[in-house]
Amino acid sequence: MSKFWSPLVNDLVPYVPGEQPKMANLVKLNTNENPYGPSPKVIEAIQAELNDSLRLYPDPEGESLRQTIADYYNVSSGQVFLGNGSDEVLAHIFHGLFQHGEPVLFPDISYSFYPVYCGLYNIEARVVPLTDSFEIDPDDYRQPNGGIIFPNPNAPTGRYLGLEHVEAILKANPDRVVVVDEAYVDFGGDTAIALVDRYPNLLVCQTLSKARSLAGLRVGFAVGHPDLIEALNRVKNSFNSYPLDRLALAGARAAFEDKEWFQRCCNGVISERERLTAALEELSFEVLPSKANFVFARHTSRAGEEIAKGLREQGIIVRHFNKPRISDYLRITIGTPEQNDALISGLRSL
């Protein structure tokens, strides 16, 4: 605390990102990064931008990338909003679409940035418990609210909610914005972008950090009705007109253009997810069905914290959440086959 701080700062409880340890040779399975690097075409596109034009500001609207994304998803560029990572897109969503004097609803076990944005923008949060099997029940979202947000697939559970259930939530809340945070959708789910033309209250948020291997470039986007996009643009242009730099715009465009690389990386993660799930089950873990690039698992007799600690001593980092309901679970990012083998043998030796 300091006398120089704005009063709000005293009460902020900031998000704590997954650890980025500086040690060499770690098997790092804690922050859901892609084990495969970005497409070589992304690297080329970024290198081609490394020239004198860096003295110039980038396109504030990012029109060429918005058009690339619009073409990819068969929508118009006026339905696409860009941000410096989807975390920034989410911040503008809370700021621009969720302040209605009523609580914003999200699952009790979910992305832990949501309550942080509520704190930053003074929005009441109401957590809606997942079912005993860690699923979202659409009926629980029939209550007064200032907006609804959930990841699909959910994080950290990995569970996917079918689009017919997403539609049930949209239909029950025609006067509020429903945000589907699809950070992991490319690992086996269907995107709700297919529904945006039918539901003006739907906003779908995605990132290039996970399936497109670009967590370091910081690119995220939202797709929805142009009225929702306009709200986000108003907030963005009152905050930072140039959230995406020239390198990020060029790299992100190339990432969407190289569909083959993208598909190969996703398929690699998906097949390793199935292999790791089977191996964990053999080691007496219960593994939730995952459509993400991670699995959420608990051992039938050993505490999650103890396993995480034992793995760490072997240089293998997984994510453990010291939170009610999930304190015995580990969230394990799917790595390369070699990393997953190291994890499996690390667990065996425990």
Ligand X SMILES: *Cc1c(COP(=O)(O)O)cnc(C)c1O
Least distance CB 66 / ligand X (angstroms)? 16
| Residues in Cβ contact with 17 at an 8 Å cutoff, skipping those fewer than 6 apart | 31
Residue 314 beta carbon to ligand X: minimum distance, rounded to whole angstroms = 26
Query: What are the residues binding ligand X (CB under 6 A)?
Result: 85-87, 111, 151, 155, 181, 183, 207, 209, 215, 220
Residue 34 CB, shortest distance to ligand X, in Å, is: 11
As a whole number of Å, the CA-based R_g of the chain is 20
Dist. CA 212–CA 281, nearest whole Å: 29
CB of 269 to ligand X, least distance (A): 14
Left (φ > 0), alpha (ψ -120 to 50) or beta: where does 315 sit? Answer: left
Closest to ligand X by CB, 19 vs 306, is 19
Q: Quick one: 243 or 346, whose CB is closer to ligand X?
A: 243
CB of 30 vs ligand X, minimal distance in Å: 12
How many separate helices (H) and strands (E) can be counted in the chain?
A: 11, 12
Nearest-approach distance from CB 212 to ligand X, in angstroms = 10
Helix (H) or strand (E) holding 104: strand 104-107
Token pair in block for residue 197: 């033309």
Q: How many Cβ atoms are within 10 Å of 279's Cβ, its own excluded? A: 18
Structure tokens at 275: 């292999």
**Distance between CA atoms of residues 142 and 170, nearest Å:** 10
Q: Which is nearer to ligand X, 228 or 342 (CB)?
A: 228
The DSSP code sequence of 245-302 is -HHHHHHHHHHHH-HHHHHHHHHHHHHHHHHHHHHHHHTTEEE----SSEEEEEESSS
Q: How far is the CB of 10 from ligand X (least distance, A)?
A: 26
Query: With respect to ligand X, which residue has the nearer C-beta, 82 or 183?
Result: 183
Residues 78-93: b if buried by 16+ CB within 10 A, e if exposed: ebbbbbbbbbbbbbbb
* Between 196 and 252, CB nearer to ligand X: 252
Question: φ, ψ for residue 295 (rounded to 5)?
Answer: -125, 155
- Residue-by-residue DSSP string for 126-195: EEE---TTS---GGGG-S--SEEEEESS-TTT-----HHHHHHHHHH-TTS-EEEE-TTGGGTPPPGGGG
Question: Could you tell me the smallest distance in angstroms from the CB atom of residue 28 to ligand X?
Answer: 15
Is the Cβ of residue 58 or residue 156 nearer to ligand X in the bound state? Answer: 156
Contact 334/273 with Cβ under 8 angstroms? yes
Cα separation, 103 vs 143, whole angstroms? 10
CB 114 → ligand X: shortest distance, Å?
9
Please, which residue, 96 or 151, has the CB nearer to ligand X?
A: 151
Judged by beta carbon, residue 87 or residue 272, the one nearer ligand X is: 87
Angle between helices 226-236 and 85-97 (to 10 degrees): 100
Return the number of the residue (222 or 347) whose C-beta is nearest ligand X. 222
